Every structure is written in C-alpha cells, then in structure tokens.
A and B are shown apart, each in its own frame.
Chain A
Amino acid sequence: MSYCQRPPVPDYRPKPVHGRLFSGLSHARGGPVKTMKSGLFIATATLYGIACILYLTLLTRRSDSMRRLPGLVFVSALGAHLAFLMLESPPPGDIPLADISQILSISSLGIGIAFLLASYRFDVTVLGAFMVPVALMLFLASGLGSSYAPVSPPVEDAVLTLHIGANILGLVAFALAFGAGVAYVLQERLLRRRQLSGLFQRLPSLDVLDTIGLRAVLTGFPLLTFGMVTGTFWLLRTDGSEFYVSQLLGLLAWAIFAAVIVLRVAAGWQGRKAALGTIMGFVCTLLVLAGYVVRAAGGSA
C-alpha cells in the first residue's frame, strides 16, 4: 500500500463573490482593489458572524473552557474591519464619512471598540451576545448598500461633519447602554421567575448592568443633543424640511433618553423601567439611521 498518491486536497477557501451585493462597495475603483475589498468584506462579516455565534453560545455554556475564543475571533474581526475601512477610505483630501455606507461601517466598528473597552473595564464579556449582533447588522447594512448614493449634497460642510461625528459617537454609547439594558431586563426576569441556572449565572449582576446603562446614557445624551443641534442648524442653512420622519424619530429618541435621565436623577427611577426606556431609545436611533438608509437607497433609484 502506498500513500504516495494522495487524493487532491479540496479547496476550502471562499470563492470571491462578485455580484450585486457588493457592487456598491467602491464607487469608482474597480479591478483587483475591488476584489480585495469584497474579500475583506466577506472575511470581516464572517468573523463578526462567528464571533456572534460564539458569544451567544458563551451565554448558555456551563463550563469555562472556551472563554477566550470569542474575544479572539472578535478582535480579529475588528482588525479585518479596520483593514477594510482603510481600503475603503477616500484618497487624502476628501472628507471621510462621505456616504451612509461609511457611516454605518464606522458606527459598527465604534460599537465593537466600545464593547471591548466596557468588557475590559467591567468584566462583562457576555454583553457581546447583545452588542456584536448590532455591530454585525450595521456592518452588513453598510455593505448591502449597493444602491446607496453618497449623502447628497456631498458632505463638505464642517457643521454636517460635526453632526455626523457626534451622532456616531452617541449611537456607539447608546449601543452599549442597549446591550446592558437587554441583559438587565433578561437577568431581572430570570431572577423573578427563579430560573437561576445557566444563563442567570452567566449574566453580570443587576447593579453592574444598571451602572453601565446609566453611564453610557449619560455619555451618549450630550453627544446626541449636540448632533441634533448641529443637524438642525445645518438643515436651516440649507433649505429645509426634507427628512421629515427621521427628524421626528430623532426627536423621539432624544425625548426618551432625556426622560430616562431626568427620571433616574430626579426620582431614582432605576432598574427595569430605565433599561426598557434605554432599549426603546436605542431602537429609535437605529430607526433614524434606517430612515437615512432608505432615503439614500431611494435617492439613487
């Protein structure tokens, strides 16, 4: 018997995908750069996806044997994402944050980084199960935008850049508050229903979750306020009342977060209600973003 003739090794590498899905990733450049970008995009999305699944399994696993794995995968996803952004970034001279796709992509990266910082500071690795899916969703949305047009008119206004920057940072902070809020609501429910094994053991204490939620909302709120003010200012300077629904939703999100903060400070309103308020506020901010995406998609059609 001889082992000389081995069967051919199957090629497991993902085949580069060309298609409608990623055709919008680069507006101008084509050729090898484009292929590389789609490759990086798929790699990043896959890594995010795997990290997502790993964080979710971490929630339910009993043993600690795989504790480090999700973090490793997630950090490599962030690395791939960063590389992807560098390829994507406009040539020097152009202003970043040029289109909604990039805004989504950078928000996704920011949420990832915020999660890493929080899990380092508070030892809340399990929050990945709630935050990494959000990051993945935003990242996928950034790539799905085959038809996203650049934000029109092109962002060349400092006020608009400030508006977008502040809102991205605010979104990141609220995403953290959202993760903590979801975990709080879950944990509180488990505690009341006396389901104290498995998931209950994995989730952090109510106190830690409440603290993270409060601090994140307190950080995000001024940013959101600043974003709203600059946005309104910019709208007034251009001409008007175009983004009707988005503005309303933005105002609603702002009002919800304002209420959460005021009630927390004034009435000591903490725990489940505050967490639910935070979740609602974050969903509203996501809807604002979704509004822009729809508008951008519709705009080019």
Chain B
Amino acid sequence: MRDFVVVGLSHRTAPVEVRERLAVAPERLEDELKEISARGSFDEALLISTCNRVELYATSANPAEAVRSARHTLGSRLPDDASEDVLYTERGVAVVRHAFRVASSLDSMVVGEPQILGQVKEAYDAARSAGTAGPLLGRCFSQAFSTAKRIRNETGIAQGTVSVSSIACELAKKIFGNLDGRRTLLLGAGDMGETAARSLRQTGTQLHVINRSEERAEKLASSCGGRPVPYERLTTELAEADVVIASTASSKFILTPELMKGVVRSRRHRPLFIIDIAVPRDVDPRVGTMDNVFVYDVDDLQQVAEENLAVRAREANQAERIIEEEVASFLTWRRSLELAPTIVALRKQFGDVADEELRRALSRLQNLNPSDRAVLEAMARSLVNKLLHQPMIQLKAGAAEADGAQLIDTVRRLFAITDDDSGGTETSIEAGDEANVTQLTAAAASGPTGESK
C-alpha cells in the first residue's frame, strides 16, 4: 500500500550552517529531483528548499525503504560533524498535515510570513516538470495551497507585519495612501535606518540622503539608490519630504520643536511621518504632539512587531483547526481511491442500469411465462458480468502498480463515482474504510520503528 513519507530539517532542528549545506538553488531543483528519484526507491518525489528548511517528500509502496533512502540522500550531504539527529521523519497522514502546515506558514520561523507559499509552489512546479510529482503528491500539494489560501482568508495569521522596516512602510501607507512619488529623507547613517530606507525605496518613494559627512551621504545614496544632499539644506529637505528616517549618532535631539515649527509652517501642514530609529533619539518627543506630524521611535515599532506576533500566535490556533479539517477531507479523498469501494460502486452502477432496463422490457412483454422471465433476468445479469469482467481484471492488476491511484481516480471520474456512491451503503466498505484509516495513521505512528527492520 502506497504511503507518504517526508524527511527533512528546518530551523527547528538544525542551525543555519547545516541548513545552508543542504540548500538547493531553485534552478537546480528539477535536476536534483531527477537524480534523487533515479537513485531512491520513490514513486513520487518533491523537494522543498528554502533558507529555513530542506525537505524531501515522497510516496512509495514500501514506505520503510523510502524513509531509509530519503534519510540517506539528505544525510550524505550533511557536514561531517553534524549528526543525523537534525533530520526528522514523518510517515502517513502526518506528512500531509506537515505539508499543509508548511504551506500555510504555521511551521515558519516567523509564523504567517507570505513567502513560503510561493516557495512551496515553486518546489511543486519543479517536481511536475521533473515528472516526479504524481497523483498523490499532486493532490496533497494542491490541497496544501488551497488550505494556505483558506487560512490566509479566514484567520488573521498573515495580518500585521513583524519586521521593523516593513512596519514603517505599512504606517507610511496608512498615512499617505499611495507612496508612489512621495519623498523619503534619510537623516544619518545607521544600519537600521538604511534598511528602512531601502524598503521604502522599494515601495516607489524617492530617496534623499542627508549626512554631516558628505562623503558618507554619497556612499549611502549610491548603495540604496538615493540622492545625496548637503547638510545645510536640512530645513528645506524637511519641508519637502513626506517620510523622515532619523538615525544619526548624535547625542542631542536634532529635530527640535523650534526647528519643526518652522518646517511645519513652510510645508503648509502637509502630514509628515518621522521614524526615529536612532538611539539615543534624534527627535524631541514634543515634536510628536504637533498637528499633522507623526513620530514613531524604535520602541514603538518594536512593540508593534511584538503585538503582531502575539496576534498571529493567537490566530494560529484557529489555523490548526482548519488544518485538521483539510487533513480529514484529504483522507476522505485518499480512501475513495481504494479499490474495493470503487469496484462495488461500479458493479452497482451497471447492475442498476440492467435492472432498470429489465423492468421496462418486462412491463412491455406482458404475456411471458415465468421461465421466460428467468431467462431474460439471467441474460441481464450475465451481460453486466461479462461487460465488467475485463475492466475488473485490469483494474485489480493496475491498482497494484505504481500509478494505481491514478487509474482508480480515472475510472471514478469516467463513471462519475462519488464518495456517496461508494460509502455508507454497505457495511463491508465501512470496514474497509476503517482499515485504511488505521493503516494511514498507524504508519505515521509507528515511524522510526518501521525503519529498524
């Protein structure tokens, strides 16, 4: 019976020095996958590689062997001094749950960050073009994507940014609406100021850089795509800017109320957003009480970041509930791919048609004696059996092969068999279903013990 396995390492288990040794560049993913699946005993394979995780997903008819092979593949690339303990292994339904959690950014270093979904999609595309993603991984990951989307829409997990410079950008957007064509003034040359200026520059603002040392201003300006401005022009620049990032090393306040009063007047009360990243601060707190001037310092931004993280942690609980729902729906689909219910449903469908036609024929042939009726009934049954004979043999044989799930899926689609047709009506199927669930979960639970054999 085919099952899922995943072997990998992430920021939870391995330090960056180890992770970077295993990382695979996006353009190398396809070749790498081809190589891995040529060597390993996998039916399907998919490789996710980001700066925080490297994971090999696979399906195989022999999960224990697949786990061994996957651990070997990844383990052989570990640095010599790292033990294999950094690799974690999951099997069965736990793999599906893990994939859903990863795509939904619940397993990320910063919970709710949006990049991971794109990276997982890239990994899936690479696996598809490498031809290593089949129906099981295909279904698993497309449902992982829709789960991620659902979580994004139904919970607040992605709301609020959690890095200081993106919070600054978000605040600027809430003040100025569109940032296109607005002007940012970077005052001083602190590292954090530069990062914030860069993110603002990316949103489409012009960037002017002002510094006491003109040389430093020029260097900084060229490195982040801004324009250097001589320090004497400070007042004019303040009057023309929309966002000011202050990050000088000055020990005194540079933006004093006296200076800013003139500035506010000459900018005709247009709103001004000042981000004070310097420690000690560059902006007198009294400036923050002026009309149409909004001042945020490092502590404010940090606090926002922490609040947002706390909100995300709360929302994550709700997201986990959605994950469980989706995992359950995946299992339903997985079970529908089992052979027995499909055969029963197929037989029932054909039998129903035969019965119906027989009934109509008999109602028109009024004067038949009982033995004639028996002949007709036997013929109808035999027609169904004969017509289904070859397909059944092929189906049973094909289901045991590697792409068996796909075959069953195709048959189900061809004859429009839904879950209701195959489930619930007969007790034998129910029992079969139960057996499969336990198999999927038991495989997950047994985990490492399976490998040792």
**Interface of A with B (CB < 8 Å)?**
62-65, 187, 191-192, 194, 196-197, 200-201, 204-208, 267-273
Contacts and interface: CB of A to CB of B under 8 A. Distances in A.
A268 B268 CA distance: 5
Nearest to A272: B291
A269 B264 CA distance: 11
A205 B177 contact: yes
A207 B178 CA distance: 9
Given A194-B303, A197-B160, A271-B292, A207 B269 contact: no
Contacts of B160: 196-197, 201
A194 B288 CA distance: 12
A273 B270 CA distance: 12
A201 B159 contact: yes
A194 B300 CA distance: 7
A7 to B, nearest CB: 28
A261 to B, nearest CB: 15
B156 interface: yes
Contact of A194 (B154, B156, B304): B304
B409 interface: no
A62 B174 contact: no
30 contacts: A62-B315, A63-B155, A187-B174, A191-B174, A191-B175, A191-B294, A192-B288, A192-B294, A194-B303, A196-B307, A197-B159, A197-B160, A197-B307, A204-B177, A205-B174, A205-B175, A205-B177, A206-B174, A206-B175, A206-B271, A207-B175, A207-B177, A207-B271, A208-B177, A270-B270, A270-B271, A271-B269, A272-B291, A272-B292, A273-B291
Contacts of A65: 153-154
A64 B153 contact: yes
B146 to A, nearest CB: 15
Chain B interface size, as a band, is 20 to 34
Nearest to A187: B174
Contacts of A268: 268-270
B402 interface: no
Given A65-B154, A194-B300, A270 B292 contact: yes
Contacts of B300: 194
A57 B156 CA distance: 15
A271 B156 contact: no
A199 B266 CA distance: 33
Interface of B: 153-156, 159-160, 171, 173-178, 268-271, 288, 291-292, 294, 296, 300, 303-304, 307-308, 311, 315
Contact of B174 (A200, A267, A273): A200
A200 B178 CA distance: 17
A131 to B, nearest CB: 20
Nearest to B182: A207
Contacts of B173: 205
A62 B178 CA distance: 23
A201 B160 CA distance: 8
B153 A196 contact: no
A201 B296 CA distance: 17
Nearest to A192: B294
Return the 7 tightest CB-CB contacts between A and B, nearest first.
A268-B268, A62-B156, A207-B177, A205-B177, A271-B292, A268-B269, A208-B177
A65 B308 CA distance: 20
A92 B142 CA distance: 62
B307 A269 contact: no
Nearest to A207: B177
A254 to B, nearest CB: 24
A58 B41 CA distance: 52
A191 B171 contact: yes
A62 B155 contact: yes
B285 to A, nearest CB: 12
